[in-house]
Amino acid sequence: MPALDPLHAALLGAVEGLTEFLPVSSTGHLILTSQLLGLQGEAVKTFEVVIQAGALGAVAGLYRGRIGSMARGVAGREANGRRLAGCLLVSFLPAAVAGLLLHRVIKSQLFSVWPVVAALAAGGVVMLADAWWRRATGQEGRKPLEALTVPHALLIGLAQCLALWPGTSRAMVTILAGLWLGLSASAAAEYSFLLALPTLGAATVFDLLQGGGALWQDVGPSAVLCGFAAAAAVAALAINGFIRYLQHRGLAVFGWYRLGLAGVMWWMLSR
């Protein structure tokens, strides 16, 4: 029997697409969902990583203008595109190096439910504290994406390393870092989406090289394709909805959601 059938793969793909670009941790939700569905094995763990490629397809389609600008910049024809591409490279490198060094430890020690619950709760507290501080001080970032500097990009990249702990949320740490550096909410979110392309793309390729054989044998191409398609479709809707939401509201609701989910999971697992 396959470790994952097409229906379960599509369900995990939808969970990935919905949560990847929201500050709630897609990896954490995938681990929790797999646990609830009784899905286990190395092939499932690999699938939980490589399914990110489907969500990246949505980013590539929605932000093809930015990607084209960066391509022209690399070719020496557009200064703003070259600067943005350089910033993304600087932000990508810290997590890439840390991920290579800590990959085995993370997979063996942190890809389980209790570490995810702890990270969800900790992230919820951080987000609520940030929302309280912004209300108390009236501080709101207003800088556009074009104002991002290389030192700021490095700080966002260092923050992204925290997301190597499943349940933390790459989107959460990169968006909060952008906000703390003065970017507007929409600019911080857009940079987080774009940074997903090299970061999650590299993670997907790395895991395919490590466990691609087991993935194709135990899951199968039809299930993988169903998961990719579901992730891409749902991610496109989630990104558009999230950007519209950020234009009028803050991130506190996601902090409360994280705390609520962590509490429910703690109660279920402790019974």
Residues spanned by the domain of 143: 6-270
The 10s digit of each residue's pLDDT in 26-84 is: 888 888 888 888 887 777 888 888 888 899 999 999 999 999 999 999 998 899 999 99
253, 259, 262, 265: CA torsion to nearest 10: -80
Q: What total number of domains does the chain contain?
A: 1
Name the pLDDT band for 2 (thresholds 50, 70, 90).
low
35, part of any domain: yes
1, part of any domain: no
209, part of any domain: yes
The 10s digit of each residue's pLDDT in 162-209 is: 999 988 999 999 999 999 999 999 999 999 999 999 998 988 888 777
- What is the percentage of the chain residues whose pLDDT exceeds 70? 97
Name the pLDDT band for 211 (thresholds 50, 70, 90).
low
Q: Which of 30-34, 38-42, 115-119, 140-144 has the lowest mean pLDDT?
A: 38-42
Contact yes or no for 189/243 (Cβ under 8 A): yes
The Cα–Cα gap between 135 and 131 comes to: 6
Token pair belonging to 258: 């994280």
Give the per-residue pLDDT at 82.
Answer: 93
Number of helices (H), then strands (E), in the chain: 12, 0
Kind and range of the H or E run holding 203: helix 185-218
